[in-house]
Chains A and B, each alone.
Chain A
């Protein structure tokens, strides 16, 4: 699995106090790992700092609430990692 996933899994484990072995690319942050919205903001802060990016959480939440995207799109870890990689690539290209 990518180093991005390893970093994100480590952040989730430490921030949300979840055993690392429970966190897989298929894990749903909310449904499987029980991370609530406030805890996810803590995780977002750690991800922002680790990768020097800004996760667009408000936009993602709005898309999910309006039915424009399924929650899995942003909160299943393999998908979250793909979005993080895209943000890192966009930053490098700018």
Chain B
């Protein structure tokens, strides 16, 4: 988790094309300016960043399944639930499942766990659009960096 760059996923460990599912890992940094304000003396990962983590895992799932032909943009979050606190240094497991692939949009269900216990889950909706100019190569490079292009099953 590179909070300074808003890169929430460290590594894709599995992309299951048939099961339309992705699994990834993300480790919360020990220190970050985020923790100075959230909260002073009691550092916790904000729920909005956990939501972003689920969204990025879902986005990589859609990118992988669509072979980087289109870009998913987050358009909706439903039924988000935050079940426990996440502090610095926590190792997170992130999973997302494609629930529905519509025309021009996709819907996933995503979940974060820590040591096998549920942290949060949500239903996420994405608008699927052509890549803005030049963005596809950058996203492919990012996919390679986190193992998306090598973790496919």
Chain A residues at the B interface, C-beta cutoff of 8 Å: 38, 41-42, 44-45, 48-49, 54-59, 61
Mind listing 29 A-B residue pairs with CB under 8 Å?
Answer: A38-B75, A38-B76, A38-B127, A41-B75, A41-B102, A41-B104, A41-B105, A41-B127, A42-B76, A42-B125, A44-B102, A44-B103, A44-B104, A44-B105, A45-B105, A45-B107, A45-B125, A48-B100, A48-B102, A49-B100, A54-B103, A55-B102, A55-B103, A57-B102, A57-B103, A57-B105, A58-B103, A58-B104, A61-B104
Residues 124-151 (chain B) with a chain A CB within 8 angstroms:
125, 127
Residue in contact with B102 in the complex, picked from A54, A59, A61, CB distance below 8 Å = A54
Q: Number of contact residues on B: which range applies?
A: 10 to 19
CA distance A55 to B127 in the complex (A): 14
CA distance A56 to B125 in the complex (A): 17
Q: Given A41-B102, A45-B100, A61-B104, list of 13 further CB < 8 A pairs?
A: A41-B105, A41-B127, A42-B76, A44-B103, A44-B105, A45-B105, A45-B107, A45-B125, A48-B100, A49-B100, A55-B102, A55-B103, A57-B105
Shortest A86–chain B CB gap in Å is: 15
CA distance A59 to B102 in the complex (A): 12
CA distance A56 to B104 in the complex (A): 8
Residues of B contacting A54 with CB < 8 Å?
102-103
CA distance A69 to B25 in the complex (A): 47
- What residue of chain A has the Cβ atom nearest to residue B76's Cβ? A42
Residues 86-128 (chain B) with a chain A CB within 8 angstroms:
100, 102-105, 107, 125, 127
Residues of B contacting A45 with CB < 8 Å?
100, 102, 105, 107, 125
CA distance A92 to B76 in the complex (A): 31
> Which of A45, A49, A59 has the most B CB atoms < 10 Å from its CB?
A45
Residues of A contacting B103 with CB < 8 Å?
44, 54-59
Contact flags B63-103 to A (C-beta < 8 A → 1, else 0):
00000000000011000000000000000000000001011
Shortest B122–chain A CB gap in Å is: 15
- What residue of chain B has the Cβ atom nearest to residue A37's Cβ? B127
Residues of A contacting B127 with CB < 8 Å?
38, 41
The 8 closest A-B pairs by CB, nearest first: A57-B103, A41-B105, A58-B104, A58-B103, A57-B104, A56-B103, A48-B102, A38-B75
